[in-house]
A = this chain, B = another copy of it.
Amino acid sequence: MNLTTAEENYLKAIYHLSEGGSKSVSTNDIAGEMKTKPASVSDMLRKLSDKEVIEYRKYYGVHITEEGKKRALQTIRKHRLWEVFLVDKLNFAWDEVHEVAEELEHIQSPLLIQRLDAYLNYPKFDPHGDPIPDEYGDVRARPRVPLNEMDLDQTGQIVAVKDSSAAFLRYLDKVGAYIGARIKILDRVEFDGSLEILVDNKKNIFMSKDVAGNILVIQS
């Protein structure tokens, strides 16, 4: 059974909100994520349920099925491969790629994605540090910790961001917190949880707890 563009977008949202299928997701949360109204979500859930990509009990939220998970991961794979293409080949900035990838991910052509993957040299992560599922939907996840949960004097490397909004990414560009940067926690302000961080052993930057919570690191 084929999915429409709208159905693919909803399924992807459900996959993300359920944290990969482990949690149940509410109608309201989906409406929030999709920027639609709960009434529209109810309609869509019936359709997705008919196509057996979700399990739906009225009034009790939805679970994604194995088939649904597979479909969502394919769309995510396409989204992230296109993002790599835009950044690596067309010189887009990492804050400019999301919208376009949101459209490109719906192009139907297995050959296209296979060739694109090869052309990009089988990348494992997208420009925001998110892992790219392989063609079978397998993801090589790395153990990642939000920067604000690290201890004083701990070191690590920035590997991803939780928030991919242009505003947030441009802020990171400005302060120099790019993916791959080596960091060390120098100080934590007890009052508001904000941090002082050493970047690449040469630059001191300050950031709020909120910002740090959206930066993911591998500890070292």
In the bound complex, do residue B119 and residue A100 qualify as a contact, i.e. CB atoms below 8 Å apart?
Answer: no
- Complex: A37 Cα to B100 Cα, angstroms: 33
How many copies of the chain does the oligomer comprise? 2
Does A91 count as interface, using CB distance less than 8 angstroms?
A: yes
Within 8 Å by CB of A115, from B90, B103, B112, lies B90
Let me know if B100 and A116 touch, CB within 8 A: no
Is the CB of A139 closer than 8 A to any CB of chain B? Answer: no
Judging by beta carbons under 8 Å apart, are B99 and A109 in contact? yes
Q: A89 CA to B118 CA in the complex, in Å?
A: 11
Contacts of A108 in B (CB 8 A): 103
The answer to whether B107 and A90 have CB atoms under 8 Å apart is: no
Using a CB–CB cutoff of 8 Å, the interface residues on chain A facing chain B are 86, 89-92, 96, 99-100, 103-104, 107-109, 111-112, 115-116, 119
Q: Contact partner of A100 among B90, B91, B109, CB < 8 A?
A: B109
B100 touching A115 by the CB < 8 A rule?
A: no
A98 to chain B, nearest CB (A): 11
Shortest distance from the beta carbon of A63 to any chain B beta carbon, whole Å: 31
Cβ 8 A contact of A116, one of B90, B96, B112, B115: B90
CA A179 – CA B96 in complex, angstroms? Answer: 37
- The answer for the CA separation of A119 and B86 in the assembled complex, in Å, is 11
Whether the Cβ atoms of B119 and A90 lie closer than 8 Å is yes
Docked-complex contact B107 and A91, CB < 8 angstroms: no
| Contacting residue for A90 out of B90, B91, B96, B112, CB 8 A | B112
- With both chains docked as a complex, state the minimum distance between the C-beta of A53 and any C-beta of chain B, in angstroms: 22
Q: Which of B89, B104, B109, B112 contacts A119 (CB 8 A)?
A: B89
Contacts of A100 in B (CB 8 A): 107, 109, 111-112
- Of all A-B residue pairs in the complex, the 3 with the closest CB atoms, nearest first, are A90-B115, A100-B109, A103-B107
Give the residue name and chain of the B residue nearest to A86 (CB).
Answer: B112
Nearest Cβ on chain B to A100's Cβ, whole angstroms: 5
Q: Are B111 and A96 in contact (CB under 8 A)?
A: yes
Shortest Cβ gap from A104 to chain B (Å):
6
